[in-house]
Amino acid sequence: MSPDTTGDLGTVLGVWGHPDDEAYLSAGLMMRALANGHRVVCVTATRGEAGFPADDPSSIDERQAVREAELAACLGVLGVTEHRWLGYGDGRCADVPDEEAVAVLAEVMAEVRPDAVLTFGPDGGTGHPDHVAACRWSTLAFERVALPGSRLLYSTKTRDWADRIYAGVDRSTIMMVEGLEPEAVDPSELAVWLTCDDALLSRKVDALRAQVSQVEPFVQAIGEDAFTELVREEFYREPRAGDEEMMRRFSAP
């Protein structure tokens, strides 16, 4: 079956690890859902306080405040008005009992009744334990609530995208697990493949750049044109055999 390229997924619930994850991986889909009159709810596990240089003099509270304000600005650009924090420490999601987080997410799913739940793939994209935890919690909550007609979708990339974007890039500067080769699939394995048109892409880039502390150094490092093409496409697949084992592999002991 060919992937859905329209991006019309109905009511969307996204579950992410840190501020900016939602925009990188699903800004186009969120905007498309809102334009079609659907509800969009974004859940973020942590406030991203660890995402600052080691010599940053600000306190944890100050860092959290920066990330909160930047995410609010980002969601404002996208038009997303519903957001929930899980309130866990950045880099510490692996320490949270699954039952605690799953119970919260199951309650959110039962209330929102999404047509599509968007989250990371089982390797978290970069192997980040917060990303992997968000995927595991979302999967367990989705199975518990079992909403008829709802779909659980994992963010992924195509092999062509990986070859183009990672060409000449030292992947160790991106991946959180030594030697990790991030998932890259054949287009035939995709459930959703949204290529943002120029208008949608412009808003997505503006939303991402509203998260100045995280995104602006990256934009300056690779250039605006390269960054724009980096975020143009959004890819999702359905769960498949082997995902549970992969989540275990990338989960902290």
Task: Please state which of the ranges 13-22, 53-62, 124-133, 165-174 shows the lowest mean pLDDT.
Answer: 165-174
Whether the CB-CB separation of 118 and 13 falls below 8 Å is answered with yes
Is pLDDT above 80 for 229?
yes
Whether the CB-CB separation of 50 and 90 falls below 8 Å is answered with yes
pTM score, two decimals? 0.95
The predicted model gives 106-115 an average pLDDT of 98
What gap in Å lies between CA 6 and CA 195, rounded to an integer?
9
pLDDT tier for residue 191 given thresholds of 50, 70 and 90:
very high
Amino acid at 195: T
Beta-sheet pairing, 192-195 with 151-156: unpaired
Task: Give the start-to-end residue ranges of the domains of the chain.
Answer: 12-250
Backbone angles phi, psi at 184, to 5 degrees: -140, 125
Per-residue tokens: 55: 């010599």
**Which phi-psi region, left, alpha or beta, contains residue 222 (left: φ > 0; alpha: ψ -120 to 50)?**
alpha
Q: Which residue reads 């979302």 in tokens?
A: 138
Is pLDDT above 60 for 202?
yes
What gap in Å lies between CA 4 and CA 33, rounded to an integer?
13
pLDDT reported for residue 84: 98
pLDDT reported for residue 181: 77
The full 3-state SS of 16-40, as one line of letters, equals ECCCCHHHHHHHHHHHHHHHCCCCE
Helix (H, G, I), strand (E, B) or coil at 78: helix
Nearest to 140 by CA among 152, 158, 156: 152
pLDDT tier for residue 168 given thresholds of 50, 70 and 90:
low
Burial 43-80 (b: 16+ CB within 10 A, else e): bbbbbbbebbeeeeeeeeeebbebbbebbeebbebbeb
Up-side HSE of residue 225: CA atoms within 13 Å toward CB? 0
Backbone angles phi, psi at 195, to 5 degrees: -105, 110
Ranked by mean pLDDT, which of 2-6, 136-140, 218-222 comes out on top?
Answer: 136-140
Q: What is the percent of the chain where pLDDT is above 90?
A: 85
User: pLDDT digit string (tens) for 113-163?
Assistant: 999 999 999 999 989 999 999 999 999 999 999 999 999 999 999 999 988
Residue 39, class by beta-carbon neighbours within 10 Å (0-12 exposed, 13-18 middle, 19+ buried)? Answer: middle
CATH entry 1.25.40.10 includes domain 12-250: no
Q: What is the percent of the chain where pLDDT is above 70?
A: 94
Amino acid at 111: E
